Structure 1
């Protein structure tokens, strides 16, 4: 499947009116060719979807470049910067995966263990036969996309105890917040602390992510962008069951880019954490060309845009798909494109990187717009980054 991002001249003209590029910062100024590619990609997209603000961050062999467009808030005309905080939706799942992987590295849990081992309230339920890995890879047997509206924090365990899988665990992948939510909750239980505390007081500081939060502190609220609904109403994410574990991280383009770089090269980290991050790239199941890792989704590299679009399509995200179990699991490797999208009602984000090329891109917007356009935009920018890397190497 091939796909082309089409932008009309009228949309480009409108984009020039609604968005202005902010300053680029990093070790060096962005090359004019890269700046042009980002501009030509972002401005029409903003105009076509009425996006108030976008932050683009890219890395090429350790050189970072930032491109900021538009506003963080219409209410006070705040411009975007690299410190602006965005809701990243399901990109949060990669942080949850990192915490669980770290728990395994320190011996607090084993992914092959049954889920009920870590929560006695689930003993005697279907989770006696569903592993932590099944939860972390959405292969528990058909947990739904969202926690049902009527379920609360007080009734969620009753919901799980009464739930019955439609499919044998490990046979179908069905993308699910209740699956990754319970996964993160059990990982935290294995470490004898709450998920929020472990994330904000341990994992994020260990990675040097000082502008990343589950709960944005009062002194940073002025840096927290507003998301916007289709009708222009300002939005921020509502609390919900397993929100922190599934979609609750708020971060900046600069911090998310650092997270990308640590996923490509964590050699400067605590060795245990570095191994944990690398382990999240292990491939466990395959649906089409997409391989489900822990939180992340990967593609053999080089790949084509059509494959990545298919892996991020509604069919893969919203429907159960027969999954091929990789036996043994595919070990982490560098010649892959690794990606994850994320949305809340008012925000849309996407991350993609190629460890073998040491290139990556972060796209954050304060509006939820089609994932396919984020993927196509990132693919175009990654292609430009590959050319820039060759130029750096003199090739």
Structure 2
């Protein structure tokens, strides 16, 4: 057995004790009528307005979970959505990348203060090597673009581009959302573990988080559960491969697994020590960017939070533009309740996850349509109002 395989076997045994089996989703009790009404009121009009074929919604409160399934995972095959349907998570995958890196740091295999050239000789002495791994993780390396340029189709090409890249700003001064930035971060994290990202995620990370139906590469045995996404032309699509795709937007998961993931973030004490500390590390805020604080994967807000602030933190300008960033000292870290969230999209899928650890509540929205982010935020906020009515300042 390889070291990763041994770790995976131990993790699976441990998680069988810490987490219920996959069957728990099917045995979940019926949702309270007011919650069912709130979810229906938020989701049904959204699906009609944006022609969303199917959605899986999961809600947790005080350790209890409920599932709400709508529409079709495949229009062509008339397959109904269930809590076990696999959806592409898009950039929600970045929260797993951050967690894997936190785990590698807990194992002494990397430090967020390190620089890329320590792990990738091709980048030593480059402008990018002045940035730290923390800067890569928080999109603050100096203005890396949202995507790699056309024509960069393999890792060697990506390394050449990153070696020659010239920053627009000093590390830590601007935040520009970037798949290459966190993709490189995840690549380095896996490399520090002597693995590729998919192997480290599927053999170490997912099992230790208790996720039994979450994949980078969906195996043949799970293909029947993999939904089809639908693009603007209503054609069935799946995510295209690319450099750093697994690290930045490549995870596929179900509502049942994602609410389990949310519960692990709400109460990491259920996890073994290194993974618990890795999850907790993703909850630290590092840069203040407009209405939100950028952490590792997750973005955060003081709670209670207004809908207007949540929309501002998820606005198009935050995603597409370079924004001034102010690094937070550890002593400036918020001490009060926080709301964590992350959106994710691919060509045919759109997702949104939020949770409030202090209230022990969380929401997962998964859809096989890339519909507008404001609609996701508003729908989740309406459901949040049912879970925690005293929500606004």
Contact 2:353–2:364 (CA under 8 A) maintained in structure 1? yes
Is the 2:292–2:301 contact (alpha carbons within 8 Å) kept by the matching residues of 1? yes
8 Å CA contact 1:57, 1:361 repeated in 2: yes
**1:1-395 pair list within 5 angstroms:** 27-153=28-154, 154-328=156-330, 331=333, 335-387=337-389
Partners in 2 of 1:244 and 1:134 — Cα distance?
20
- Using the size of structure 2 for normalisation, the TM-score is 0.91
Q: Can you give the 5+ residue segments of structure 1 that lack an aligned partner in the other structure?
A: 1-23, 390-395
2:205 counterpart SS class: helix
1:238-281 C-alpha deviation (Å, 9 max, x unpaired): 10010000000000001011111101102121111001101101
After TM superposition, give the deviation of residue 231 of structure 1 in Å.
1.6
2:128–2:165: 8 Å Cα contact kept in structure 1?
no
CA distance in 2 between counterparts of 1:26 and 1:218 reads 26
Q: Deviations over 1:315-355 (max 9, x none)?
A: 11100000111123655866101000000000000000100
Residues 154-202 of structure 1 deviation map (CA, whole Å, 9 limit, x = unaligned): 3111001000100000000000000000000011111111111000011
Helix, strand or coil at the partner of 1:69: strand
Q: Structure 2: how far apart are the matches of 1:152 and 1:57?
A: 36
SS across alignment from 2:354: strand
Question: Residues 259 and 284 from structure 1, CA distance in 2 versus in 1: closer, same or farther, beyond 3 angstroms?
Answer: same
Q: CA deviation at 1:289?
A: 2.3
Does the CA contact (< 8 Å) of 2:128 and 2:167 recur in 1? no
Cα gap change, 1:326 to 1:178, in 2 (>3 Å): same
* Partner SS state of residue 165, structure 1: coil
Please tell me whether the aligned partners of residues 57 and 257 of structure 1 are also in contact (alpha carbons under 8 angstroms): yes
For 2:137 and 2:230, the matched residues in 1 are separated by 30
Deviation of 1:105 after TM superposition, in Å, equals 1.0
The RMSD of aligned alpha carbons is: 1.5
TM-score (normalizing by structure 1): 0.90
Alignment partners' CA distance in 1, 2:349 and 2:291? 27
Q: How many residues align?
A: 366
